[in-house]
Structure 1
Amino acid sequence: MEADTEAALRRTRRLFVNRDNLHAAIRTVVNKTLEVRDVSLWGPGTTCASDSRKFGSWSANFMTEWHQRYGGAGIMVYWHVERKNVCIYSQVRSTTDSEVASMIEGLLRHLTSAEIDRQYTDTHGASIVGFAFSHLLDFKLLPRLKNIGSARLYRPGLTEGEAWPQLEGVLSGKTIDWELIANQYDQMIKYATALRLGTAEAHQMLRRFTRGGPKHPTYRAIEELGRANKDIFYGRPVI
């Protein structure tokens, strides 16, 4: 067989080897893998874990940033891996990007046939905002928290703690503002719908809410909802 010329290979790369085609090919492989698996042996494929890894990169790369935790300049690759080691989504981010936003973005944009309802992360992939959006987007956030021993639970009401004297050591003096959650619930649903439909990116939305200065009322309500769901996570067994 006659070898392909350099010009033909360059033309093939230019016309066919691009991000959209690679995503489509990977998605096809993942979907076929999930399709042929025996559910009785491998499970239904509804559990996913996500984490990031830092890769060194040249300073000329526009995404290269220095991050103290990663110990050097580089970029971050964030993976979503289904329970039986099938990667359903990956994304290249800057090292200073929010891992919580990357976690949400991957769950909503993977476009495979996997129906994820439980998401595992490390401490950096979870926050009270992450707990709130996981509730609004209807999946369970199950982080591995390294500081769980120092966690303090918010009280449901001003006098609710009196009913559980054994929990006095882990209850804080603060309470959940249910009225704020009720008043801003329609707005929270609006933002969650924008994320689900793709009209807004998680990174943009979280960046908008977490700027310095006074907090947006909806963001304060999201924090309250996240605290409530985080406390529920602390108090229930993970199955």
Structure 2
Amino acid sequence: MLLLNETIPRNDKVRLLWRGETRISITPFKPLPEPKGLEAIKGEIGQRWPMTGLLDVLKEAALDTGLLEAFETSASRVALSREALDRRLLLCLYGLGTNAGLKRVAGATPDVSYDELLHVHRRFIHAPALREACARVANATLAIRNAAVWGDAGTACASDSTKFGAWDRNLMTEWHARYGGRGVMIYWHVEKRATCVYSQLKRCSSSEVASMIEGVLRHCTDMEIQRQYVDSHGQSAVGFAFCRLLGFELAPRLKAIARQKLAIPEAGMRARLPNLLPILSGAINWDEIEQQYDEMVKYTAAMQTRTADPEAVLRRFARAEVMHPDLQGAERTRPRGQDDLSMPLPSTGSLPPGNP
């Protein structure tokens, strides 16, 4: 906060206003120019592989990463040969992944019937196997990258959700209040170079903050996430608190950034921050945090050890009719009509860091 107070007078992109509800004015960044040589690379790829099908890409990925080894049967024995099983697994994954369906894939493949693909689908393809296969592809992608060309993989990740239409008979289908229409949400975690490290199915009304925490804790790749970028729907005051305790930094894009306030560590610090006076709110109640700190660590450890689901934990802090005791102190110290940009907490001490 002291560094921000010193540098903001020289920042030509951010201005602090003294009047009105809009106190923070930010100038948008200009789009970056297209990297040199990108057009040449696209042309060379088009000449070498002009008509490469998705099924060929899936087959090459399976040969390079061994992702098909993650699919094990739920039956007591396997009568199929490995070659026949791998072929049917590739066809099933292609039909399900492209939404073409097993019947259409079987109709385009003379020597494989729909019943054979359906048998493999029921006996071999399940959620844990799919997660293991996706993790193998992501780890192989991260390992094979040339750092001189792609740069360091880093420890930053971005996440957001996408709405997909779904039939009403799907138990997770809901009406989306913002996008309209019935469907479900897929929440993606993507690293800096556009490799998906985790994805999850969620309801339209479920918390994106909980999905963000779920992806950071449950992704099975070799990537270590230390900073998580989200949009306005993926952050909250409670989310800032749990991310701090879980050992990674939450970096949201705030839609209402113009109305945000900064909480100060102590009341006497206002005199040391003359350039930030328009956006300063009340002082943090450290005594209240100290009293509820053990409870916060308990909930954090429950999420990290998979004893409790993040959405179930965050739901306890979001109920308006019965406020959780751990939030009462923060609400008493927050001025009415203002949102704090952060919710600082003491050091985590002996709590295990970051990803388990």
Which residue matches 1:31?
Answer: 139
Which residue, out of 222, 235, 238, partners 1:129? 238
Shift of 1:177: 1.0
Whether the 8 Å contact between 2:263 and 2:342 is mirrored in structure 1 is no
Does the C-alpha gap of structure 1 residues 227 and 197 become closer, same or farther in structure 2, counting only changes over 3 Å?
A: farther
Aligned partner (choices 280, 296, 299) of residue 188 of structure 1: 296
Cα gap change, 1:228 to 1:221, in 2 (>3 Å):
farther
1:121 shift after superposition: 0.4
Q: Give the match for residue 179 of structure 1.
A: 287
Q: 1:202 aligns with which of 287, 290, 310?
A: 310
1:10-29 matches, cutoff 5 A: 10-29=118-137
Runs of 4+ in 1 over 3 A off after TM superposition: 219-224, 226-232
Amino acid paired to 1:5: S
Residue of 191, 214, 222 corresponding to 1:113: 222
**Match for residue 172 of structure 2 among 41, 63, 73:** 63
Report the CA distance shift for 1:85/1:37 in structure 2 as closer, same or farther (over 3 A). Answer: same
Distance of 1:222 and 1:171 partners within structure 2: 15
Match of 2:75 in 1: none
Residue 165 to residue 108, structure 1, CA distance change in 2 (3 Å): same
Report the AA paired with residue 37 of structure 1: R
CA gap 1:74/1:7 in 2 versus in 1, 3 angstroms: closer
Residue ranges of structure 1 left out of the alignment (5+ in a row):
233-239
1:95-153 per-position Cα deviation (integer Å, ceiling 9, x unaligned): 11111111000110111111111110011111111111111011111111121122122
CA contact (8 A) 1:80 1:88 kept: yes
Secondary structure of 2:278's counterpart equals coil
Report how far residue 221 of structure 1 moved. 5.9
Q: Residues 26-175 of structure 1: matches in 2 within 5 Å?
A: 26-40=134-148, 41-172=150-281, 174-175=282-283
| Corresponding residue of 2:320 | 212
1:157 maps to a residue whose letter is E
- RMSD of the alignment, in Å? 2.4
Q: Answer 1 or 2: which has greater strand percent.
A: 1
With structure 1 as the length reference, what TM-score do the two structures score?
0.87
Hey, what's the Cα distance between the residues in 2 that align with 1:206 and 1:10? 39
Q: Which amino acid aligns with 2:122?
A: R
| Residue 58 of structure 1, CA deviation | 1.6
1:227: how far off?
4.8
Question: In structure 2, how many angstroms separate the alpha carbons of the residues matched to 1:178 and 1:15?
Answer: 55
The verdict on how the C-alpha distance between 1:184 and 1:230 changes in structure 2, with shifts beyond 3 A counting, is closer
AA matched with 2:285: D
The answer (yes or no) to whether the contact 2:138–2:195 under 8 Å persists in 1 is yes
Corresponding residue SS for 2:289: helix
Which is worse superposed, 21-30 or 57-66? 57-66
Q: Is the 8 A contact 2:197 2:219 kept in 1?
A: yes
User: What is the distance in 1 between the residues matched to 2:205 and 2:120?
Assistant: 36
Distance 1:227-1:192 versus aligned 2 partners, 3 A rule: farther
Q: 1:222 to 1:101 in 2, by over 3 A?
A: farther
Q: Closer, same or farther in 2 for the Cα pair 1:220/1:36, shift >3 Å? A: farther
1:13–1:188 CA distance, 2 compared to 1 (3 A): same
Deviation at 1:42, TM superposition (A): 2.7
Is the 2:260–2:341 contact (alpha carbons within 8 Å) kept by the matching residues of 1?
A: no
8 A Cα contact 1:90 1:106, kept in partner? yes
- What is the alpha-carbon distance in structure 2 between the residues aligned to residue 83 and residue 149 of structure 1? 27
